[in-house]
Amino acid sequence: MKKFLLLITVIFVVITATTCAEKKDDTVTLLTHDSFWISEGVFEEFTQQTGVNVEVQMAGDTGQLLASAILTSSNPSADVIFGIDNTFLQRALNADIFAVYESPSLSKVSEEIQLDTQHRVTPIDFGDVCINYWIDSFSSDLPPPKNLDDLIDSKYSGQLVVQNPETSSPGLAFFLATIAEYGDDWELWWAALRDNDVTVTSGWEDAYEVEFVAGGGEHPLVVSYASSPPAEVIYAETPIDSPPTGVLTDTCFRQIEFAGVVNGTKNQEAAENLIDFMLSNTFQQDIPNSMLMFPASNEAELPATFAEFAEVVEDPYMLDPEIIERNRNNWTERWTQIVLR
C-alpha cells in the first residue's frame, strides 16, 4: 500500500515538475491557427538575429483562434497573434486584443492590403478564394463559366459545390464576393443558384475531397483557393506537368492574413521584432510553399511552381471589414434561410 501511494505521488510530482517549468524571458510566443506552417530553419534565423526563441502555439481554425484570443485577453498567453483575416479583423479590433505597432518594413507592403490605418495589425500574406474548375470536364461545346453571372446559367446546373458560410472560411469568403458584386440583390442571385442545384457542404474538406472531381466526386466546379492548382502539381501522386484544375479569376474574394502584437504582452520588444521578421524576405519567401498564400511584401520572390501555376488575380472582390462584422450574422442567417431551408 505504501509503495502504491509513493508511486502515485512520484508520478504526480514528476508530471507537475515537467509541466510547470517557468517560461523563459528569451522566448516569444506566437499564437496562430492550424493551417500555419513555415519551413524548418526560418525561425532559427530570427533567433540568431535577436537571441530570442519563437514558440508556436496553435488554436484550431481562424474562428477558434480569435475566440481563444478574446477569452484570454485579460491574461494573454501569447505575445504575437498571426492568422486573423479580413473577414474576422473587425471583431478582433473591437475586442481590443492588439497593441499599435507600425513596422518600418510596411514600406514594402502595398497600401491596398493595409486595412487598419491605426496599425494594430500588419498584413503578412494574402490569397484569393475563387471557383476552381476541373479542366477535362469542359470543352469548346461547354466552356467553363467566366463569372458569377454564368454560375446561375442552366448550362452549369448541378455543377457547383460551395461551403456553408457559417461553418467554413472559404465559404464565407465566396459568400462575401457575391455580396460585393450584387449588393442587396445577393439574395436573388443565391435563390437562383439554389434553383440551379448548387451543392452545399459544411467545410472545404468535404467540398474538395468528396464532391469535387479531384477528390473522386462528380462536381466540376468548387469554391477553393487560387493556389489550389499549384498544390495539385506539388502534391501529385505521380508527377504531372500542369495542374488538372483551373481558376475562374473573376469570382475571387481576397483574404488577407494579419499579425499583431498582443495587447498586454510582457515581451513588447521581441514581439515587435517578430512582426518585422515576418515581413523579411526569409519569412515572406517561405510563405507560398508552406502555406499556399502570396507574400505581402513586394520584395519577396515567388518559388518556380508557384509563379508558374498560381493565378495572380487582378481585381478581386473586397469588402470593408467593418461592414462585414456589422452585417455578417444577419447575412448568414438570411443565407441559411434562402439556400438551406
Partner 1 sequence: MNPQKRFVWAFLFFLPVLFVGVFFYWPLLKIFSHTLDGERINEFWSYLSSKPFRQIAWFTIWQAFLSTVCTMMLALPAAYLVARFSFPGKKLFQALTTIPFVLPTVVAAGAFMALFQRFGLDQGMFRLHHTVWALLLAHIFFNLAIVVRTVGSFWAGLDPRVEEQAKILGAAPWHIFRKITLPRLVPALAAAASVVFVFCLTSFGIVLLLGGPTRATIETEIWRQAVWRGDISVASVLAVIQLGAVMVMVLIMNFLQKRQAVVESKVELNPERASRKLLVGNILLLGILVGLPIVILVERAIGVGDGYSFQNFSAMADRISLVPLSSLAALKNSLLFAVVAAVLAALLGGVASFFVVHGNRWLSNFLDFGMMLPLGVSAVVLGFGMLISLDTPPLDLRSSWILVPIAHALLGIPFVMRTVIPTLRRIDPSLRESASLLGASPSKVTKYIDFPIAFRALGVGAAFAFAISIGEFGATSFLPRSPDRLTAPLVLFRLLGAPGEALRGQAMALAVTLMVITAATVILIEGSVFKRETIRSDF
Site for partner 1 in 86-145 (CB under 8 A): 91
Distance from C-alpha of 246 to C-alpha of 132, rounded to nearest angstrom: 6
Does residue 15 belong to the site contacting partner 1 (CB under 8 A)?
A: yes
Taking the CA atoms of the chain, what radius of gyration do you get in angstroms? Answer: 22
Residue 1 CB, nearest approach to partner 1 (Å): 6
Please, what is the minimum distance in Å from the beta carbon of residue 300 to partner 1? 16
The answer to whether residue 20 forms part of the interface with partner 1 (CB under 8 A) is: yes
Q: Which is nearer to partner 1, 10 or 100 (CB)?
A: 10
Residue type, 115: L
C-alpha cell at 25: 524571458
* Nine cell digits for residue 151: 454560375
User: With binding defined as CB under 8 A, does residue 16 bind partner 1?
Assistant: yes
For residue 173, the 8-state DSSP code is H
Q: Within 234-293, which residues bind partner 1 (CB under 8 A)?
A: 234-238, 289-292
Alpha-carbon gap, residue 153 to 52, rounded angstroms: 56
Our CB check for partner 1 shows the closer of 106 and 130 to be 130
Grid cell 446561375 in the structure block, residue: 152
Residue in 61, 181, 187, 299 binding partner 1, rule: CB under 8 A: 61
Name the strand (E) or helix (H) holding 205. Answer: helix 204-206
What burial letters (b/e) apply to 18-51, b meaning 16+ CB within 10 Å?
eeeeeeeeeebbbbbbeebebeeebbeebeeebe
| Site for partner 1 contains 228 (CB under 8 A) | yes
> Quick one: cell of 168?
467554413
- How many residues touch partner 1 (CB under 8 A)? 72
Closest distance to partner 1 from the beta carbon of 312 (Å): 18
Nearest to 28 by CA among 56, 66, 5, 65: 56
Return the range that interacts with partner 1 (CB under 8 A); candidates 64-72, 182-190, 256-264, 267-275.
64-72
Q: Considering the complex, what minimum distance in angstroms separates the CB of residue 189 from partner 1?
A: 19
- Of residues 176-215, which lie at the interface with partner 1 (CB under 8 A)? 200-206, 208-211, 214-215
| Closer of 83 and 103 to partner 1 (Cβ) | 83
Please provide the size of the chain in residues: 341
